[in-house]
Amino acid sequence: MSLAAPVAQDVADMLAGWLPTQRWFAGKDRPVDGVRLLSDTPLPIEQPRVHHLVVGVDQGGQHTPYQVPLSLHEHPQERLEHVRVGELWEPGDASPHHVYDALHDKDATAVLLTALAAKADIESLRFHVEEGARLPLGQPSIVLTVEQSNTSLVYGEAALLKVFRRLAAGVNPDIEVHDALTRARSPYVAALLGWIDGSWTDQDTGRPVSGSLAMLQRFLRTATDGWALATTSVRDLYAEADLHADEVGGDFAGEARRLGAATAQVHAVMRRTLPHAQLGPAELSRLATGMRQRLDAAAELVPDLRPYAAGLGTAYDGVAELDRPVPGQRVHGDLHLGQVVRTVLGWRLLDFEGEPEKPLAERVVLDSPLRDVAGMLRSFDYAAHSLLVTDHPDDPQIAYRASEWAERNRAAFCAGYASVAARDPREEALLLRAYETDKAVYETVYEWRNRPGWLGIPLAALDRLAA
């Protein structure tokens, strides 16, 4: 049974205090004015009781839906103390229910896997299984603790359920792209096993909408994060004061090259299996205008950027004036070293959601795959220079070597990409420069707001790009 109206109000009030304390809550910069239940689906399990909720968070008149499954226990659960939401009384209760974040409660999460296996329809929720997928039924779940904007559960080291927290109407591109790549049997992603979607009431229109809630994919047991691998190589280089990037044991260029090749393979399958089209003058002009607007807004905010603004703008003019169409396709949209993992079998690309800040409609717009190449090139630059900021400020010798590492691995990535794709991305210098500039401009805004000490990293890149 759904929660009775007064109880639903109590839950909403309880969540208004709890949501802003959660890492994945995106609205921490503004107060929460109210929370409403937009859907409430009791799951078929008795102990604990589990309510799958979609709640609408009101922040200054802006409404955002979040997914919040809750488990209700009759007794306090010490093991769940860290995800306690509060306590709840229902009419006639002699004692309260103890309410927890159900995703951390393995007694509650088992039902998600059984519902998936049964391809169940449970009121507002629909569970799907990818053809031929085997699910690790009966395995308990644990929550992945890495920093992220969603909540991911791993069942028995076999499957990972990524539960989207902030919701949007429509199909999440992570599911759409993984589905296409899995059907094409691409070995460069973690295969899709299933997904959950559901419906809730749109807070602005009062009408029902549906959208993706969660994605089940194969868990890559031997995965090591690309960022961790890359920065370990950089640390090795710094430790070997007299050696160059190509001479130290931790040289990364072979990995960078294989990562470039894997990226090109993924792009090729995405082009084959998902929408694609040539980007003509209208699209290119729109692309350049968008880049120009982001640059202007950033220069407004970040004074150090202003000296470069005019020079950088020319890169964008060139895009608008291109006299030939550019191949457009679906892209990753947020590719960097933290979105790729190295397994014993090679590189795998993760997280095709696109830039989470962008509305869904913008994240599926056809674009040049060079956007992803540029994202990865910027990431190599960051990996090389981030330790300088934290461990070696003002050491010109190490700074020189950091740039050498970045150059070596950026080149290796492009060479690997070129070994698979028809063209070397470096031959598309004008477009690649524009995408890299756009990304570095975004980084200056991010650093200005969050880590002013790091601003030097994107500014040095823009200095080079403006030249």
Ligand X SMILES: Nc1ncnc2c1ncn2[C@@H]1O[C@H](COP(=O)(O)OP(=O)(O)O)[C@@H](O)[C@H]1O
CA distance linking residue 109 with residue 137, whole number of Å: 11
* 146 scored as a contact of ligand X (CB under 6 A): yes
Alpha helix segments (H runs only) across 147-280: 173-183, 226-239, 253-273
Only one of the segments 46-54, 194-202, 346-354, 358-366 lies at the binding site for Mg ion (rule: CB under 5 A); that segment is 346-354
Rule CB under 5 A: which of 46-75 touch Mg ion? none
What are the start-end ranges of the E strands in 269-325? 276-279
CA distance linking residue 354 with residue 13, whole number of Å: 32
Only one of the segments 92-100, 179-187, 289-297, 348-356 lies at the binding site for ligand X (rule: CB under 6 A); that segment is 348-356
Q: Which is nearer to ligand X, 124 or 217 (CB)?
A: 217
Residue 348 CB, nearest distance to ligand X (Å)?
A: 8
Rule CB under 6 A: which of 200-259 touch ligand X? 217-220, 223, 225
CA proximity to 353, closest of 332, 379, 369: 332
User: Do 193 and 218 touch, CB atoms closer than 8 A?
Assistant: yes
- List the structure tokens of 411: 């080149």
CA distance linking residue 179 with residue 174, whole number of Å: 8
* 351 scored as a contact of Mg ion (CB under 5 A): yes
Residue 6 CB, nearest distance to ligand X (Å)?
A: 35
Rule CB under 6 A: which of 359-398 touch ligand X? none
Query: What's the distance, CA 352 to chain centroid?
Result: 7
Q: Looking at 144, 309, 326, 387, which residue binds ligand X (CB under 6 A)? A: 144
CA distance linking residue 250 with residue 254, whole number of Å: 10
Pattern 403-442, binding to ligand X, x per CB under 6 A? Answer: ----------------------------------------
- List the structure tokens of 108: 């509650």
Q: Looking at 22, 149, 232, 386, which residue binds ligand X (CB under 6 A)? A: 149
Number of residues that bind Mg ion (CB under 5 A): 1
Which option in Mg ion, ligand X, none does residue 225 bind, with CB closer than 5 to 8 A by kind? ligand X
Q: Give the angle subtended at the CA of 415 by the CAs of 277 and 249, to the nearest 5°.
A: 140
Where along the sequence are the contacts to ligand X (CB under 6 A)? 144, 146, 148-150, 152, 160, 162, 190, 217-220, 223, 225, 338-339, 341, 350-351, 353
